[in-house]
Amino acid sequence: MRESMLILILGMGLVTFLPRFIPMAFLSRWIFPEKVKVGLSYFPVAILSAIVFPTFFTDGNQVEIQFQYLLAALPVFLFAWKVKSLWGSVLLGMAVYWLLGFIL
C-alpha cells in the first residue's frame, strides 16, 4: 500500500473512532449544552449541501450551470424525498443522467 494512503486511512480511522468512543467511554452522565446540540444538528445538512450544490453550478472555480447534472438531480431530489431509498436514488440518478447524455 502507498504510504500516503496508509496515513490517510489511519488518520481517517482515528478521527472517526474518537467521536464514537470518547462519549461512550467518559461522558455517559454529561448533559450536552443546548447550543452545542443545536449547532451539531445542522452540520450534516450544511456539509452535504456544500458537496452537492457546487456539482450543479460550478466547473472548477468558474460558475457555470451543469445542465446534465442539474436535470438529473431534480427527479432524484423528488424520489429521495418521497421514497427515501438510498439505492433507488442512486439507480434513478444514474439512469436519468445516462439518458440525458443522448439528448444534451
Partner 1 sequence: MNKSGFREGVGDALPIVLGYLPVGMTFGILARKAGLTSFEVGFMSLFVYAGASQFLAIEMISMGIPPFSIILATFFINLRHILMSSNFSIYLRNIRLPILGLLSAQMTDESYAVAISKLPGVTSRAPYLLGLQMTSQLAWVGGSVAGAFFSSLTEGTGWGLPFALPALFICLLVLQIRNAHHFWVMVIAGVCSVFFKWAIAGNWYILLTALLASGMGMMIERVWRKNS
The reply on whether position 67 binds partner 1 by CB under 8 A is: no
The reply on whether position 71 binds partner 1 by CB under 8 A is: no
How far apart (Å, rounded) are the C-alpha atoms in residues 74 and 70?
A: 7
Task: Write the DSSP symbol of residue 48.
Answer: H
In the complex, what is the shortest distance from the CB of residue 98 to partner 1, in angstroms, rounded to a whole number?
3
Out of 10, 33, 103, 104, name the contact with partner 1 by CB under 8 A.
10
| Residues contacting 63, CB < 8 A, separation 6+ | 57
The site string for partner 1 over 16-55 (x = CB under 8 A, - otherwise) reads: xx-xxxxxxx-xx-x-x--x-xxxxxxxxxxxxxxxxxxx
In the complex, what is the shortest distance from the CB of residue 76 to partner 1, in angstroms, rounded to a whole number?
5
Out of 33, 62, 103, 104, name the contact with partner 1 by CB under 8 A.
62
How far apart (Å, rounded) are the C-alpha atoms in residues 83 and 81?
A: 6
Residue with cell 449547532: 39
